[in-house]
Structure 1
Amino acid sequence: MKSALLLGGTQFVGKRLVELLLNQGVTVTIATRGRAADDFGDRVLRLKLDRTDEKSVKEALHDKSYDVVFDHTCYSPVEVREVLEALDERIGKYVFISTVAVYDEGEQLVEQDFDPRHFDIHYKPRQEYVGMIGYQEAKRASEAVLYQQAPCPVVTVRFPFVVGLDDYTERFAFHVRAVKQGNPIGTTNRNAKFGFIDSADAAAFLLKVAQSDFEGPINAGSEGSISIDELLDRIAKRLEKSYSYAEDEMTNRSPYDLGISLAQTTALAHTSGYHFKQFDALVDEQIALHRSEK
């Protein structure tokens, strides 16, 4: 891989991936709306485009070519179709950042539980994909466009919740702060299971699959799962505090409250030679990271 386009790339996993690519001597282009500053200086090339504006996408990409495209910012099948049309056959490989949300409910979900190659695509702009159901449909349809229409090899990486030093969402921190401050937490299902991946692991995995000959959907993340009840119990024990739930499940609602279990197995990644941080160690690391915050 000599050249890479990151659709996104200025935050969280994308930012880490840019650094890994640069360290390997890859010519990196980041494509964003140009609203967020980055620290890459003249080490990267930049394109300005808006995924919700077809004209801006096609104008930015019409004469470009890349060995690998990493797509961090797609929230509609329309958007991935526009990138494919703009670049045509000038893509060596397409790595799509997907999600465990493409699956229906379960605790040991495997890649075959959702097959994008046989999914009926209905094209809608991102604003029409509302809530968790909309997010699921958008990511499913986007994967389907890639496998059914892309002129190049495709990998769709299905991540669980991402955590790490650079987590701007502060979802994990929300729970630690709530326990520290004694704030009751709202949840619709305290026993639903979910998983995690460390942001450094996520970036390293994206690089590895891009450099490999692997194609297809693949789950990535620390092997294991946890419920909100189990997470709060662990935080409370580490902080020597107690916790409680809000009487109204929508009050101070947990950002990890999906209402259903969405936890996947990463057996395929492991058998393919990829390894991730041990689950319990990752959880404890995140608790320690946020317990010292003011």
Structure 2
Amino acid sequence: MATTQTVLVLGGTRFVGRHIVEALLAAGHTVTVLTRGQSPDELPEHVERLQGDRERGAAGLQALVARTWDACVDVSGYTPAAVRASAEALAGSVGRYVFVSTVSVYAEQNRHPVRETDPLLPAAPEDLTEVTGESYGPLKVTCERIVQEVFADRATILRPQIVAGPFDHTARYPYWPDRATQARQNGQPMLAPGSGSDHVQAIDARDFGRFAVRVIEDSTPGIFNVAGPRLTWAEFMTAIGAQSVVWVDAATLEAQGIGWRDLPLYLADDSEQGGLMDVDATRALAAGLTLTDPATTARDTGAWSAGQPTEYLLTPEREAEAVKVSRTV
């Protein structure tokens, strides 16, 4: 077993952060989390809790003063001002800074496959604080650069693909196992986008958590795409247990007013962002990333999601109408 380490997690109570904390604990490490105290906290009692808000700069990070940790995992860094505040505050207090970024930093998102050496989007200004669909990627580019500037070879950048698994509050991935279960139980056909030949990729949050632990234990520097198995949509439908699948082409979907928000995860291979479902994780796999069977991810996500009051944009009624139209075309 690796030597026990002390790890500070910035964030840590929701989804990805929670899985990272659980992976650290499972590996025997001592964990402290810094949060604003605004999200439900179901972490084990022996996790140390600190409260702070780095959006307030150094004044919001007083809880970190005169403390040291072997490593830090930054799960909640979205704006340059916040990331600079934490990076500079921790420069002399942690050995390694692991920053959770995103594959949305890449400029050529239609490239196949997407690799760590690909061009990035233009960096956002450091004073930009509004996180939107358009600014998210550029903000993360700037955040990455700040971490690398402050920590140099003590920085590790993780760029996850779509993250899936239990505790996923985003309603993106959970839609699919939930809908497959509902359709199966009700004896209904299930709409699936395209023809089945496009691709989908997701990284199990537990795999991501274990990889974060691995780079800490091995003190691994560098930049890593963290992506799961690349499946065709036909394979994905099998993995989620879908039955009576009806494939509906893009033209029919558009005519019915059904878009990507209604069918989360779907990107046609030849779309402007199609490369984001073709993310090369070779470097991470060589550094110790392990991958869960997609059917296990779907099963466990569905089991958790079944008890959640999640509402999806695409109602069964609209789905049924689209299926009916597709069958008459």
TM-score (norm. length: structure 2):
0.74
3-state SS of 1:264 partner: coil
CA-to-partner distance for each residue in 1:211-261, whole Å, 9 max, x for gaps? 11321101122242545xx47754797322435435214486223256511
3-state SS of 1:109 partner: coil
Q: Which is worse superposed, 146-155 or 262-271?
A: 146-155
Per the TM alignment, residue 170 of structure 1 is displaced from its structure 2 partner at its CA by: 2.9
Distance 1:85 1:233, change over 3 A: closer
Q: Provide the residue aligned with 2:114 in structure 1.
A: 109
Distance 1:231 1:48, change over 3 A: farther
Q: Tell me how far apart the structure 2 counterparts of residues 184 and 11 of structure 1 sit (CA, whole Å).
A: 30
Alignment equivalent of 2:221, drawn from 215, 228, 236: 215
CA-to-partner distance for each residue in 1:121-157, whole Å, 9 max, x for gaps? 6213432x321x3111011111111112326601111
Distance 1:69 1:121, change over 3 A: same
Q: Tell me how far apart the structure 1 counterparts of residues 285 and 145 of structure 2 sit (CA, whole Å).
A: 25
Q: Provide the residue aligned with 2:132 in structure 1.
A: 130
Instruction: Report if the CA contact (8 A) 2:240-2:299 is conserved.
Output: no
Q: How does 1:2-13 map to 2 (within 5 A)?
A: 2-13=5-16
Asked if residue 242 in structure 1 is aligned to residue 255 in structure 2, the reply is no
Asked if residue 161 in structure 1 is aligned to residue 162 in structure 2, the reply is yes
3-state SS of 1:172 partner: coil
Instruction: Report if the CA contact (8 A) 1:187-1:250 is conserved.
Output: no
Instruction: Return the letter of the residue paired with 1:36.
Output: S
Q: How does 1:186-205 map to 2 (within 5 A)?
A: 193-205=199-211
3-state SS of 2:174 partner: helix
* Structure 1 outlier segments of 4+, above 6 Å: 182-188
Asked if residue 276 in structure 1 is aligned to residue 282 in structure 2, the reply is no
Q: Tell me how far apart the structure 2 counterparts of residues 41 and 288 of structure 1 sit (CA, whole Å).
A: 20
Q: Which is worse superposed, 33-42 or 156-165?
A: 33-42
Alignment equivalent of 1:266, drawn from 277, 281, 296: 281
Asked if residue 78 in structure 1 is aligned to residue 90 in structure 2, the reply is no
Instruction: Return the letter of the residue paired with 1:165.
Output: P
Q: Tell me how far apart the structure 2 counterparts of residues 185 and 124 of structure 1 sit (CA, whole Å).
A: 43
Q: Provide the residue aligned with 1:46 in structure 2.
A: 49
Q: Provide the residue aligned with 2:262 in structure 1.
A: 253
Asked if residue 172 in structure 1 is aligned to residue 178 in structure 2, the reply is no
Q: How does 1:86-101 map to 2 (within 5 A)?
A: 86-101=89-104
Instruction: Report if the CA contact (8 A) 1:22-1:28 is conserved.
Output: yes
TM-score (norm. length: structure 1):
0.81
3-state SS of 2:37 partner: coil
Q: Tell me how far apart the structure 2 counterparts of residues 27 and 56 of structure 1 sit (CA, whole Å).
A: 26
Asked if residue 22 in structure 1 is aligned to residue 25 in structure 2, the reply is yes
Instruction: Report if the CA contact (8 A) 1:186-1:253 is conserved.
Output: no
3-state SS of 2:113 partner: strand
CA-to-partner distance for each residue in 1:12-58, whole Å, 9 max, x for gaps? 23222223323444331111111223233540211112232225433
Specify every segment of 5 or more residues in structure 2 that has no aligned partner in the other structure, as ranges. Answer: 308-329
Distance 1:208 1:41, change over 3 A: closer
* Paired residue total: 285
Distance 1:145 1:251, change over 3 A: closer
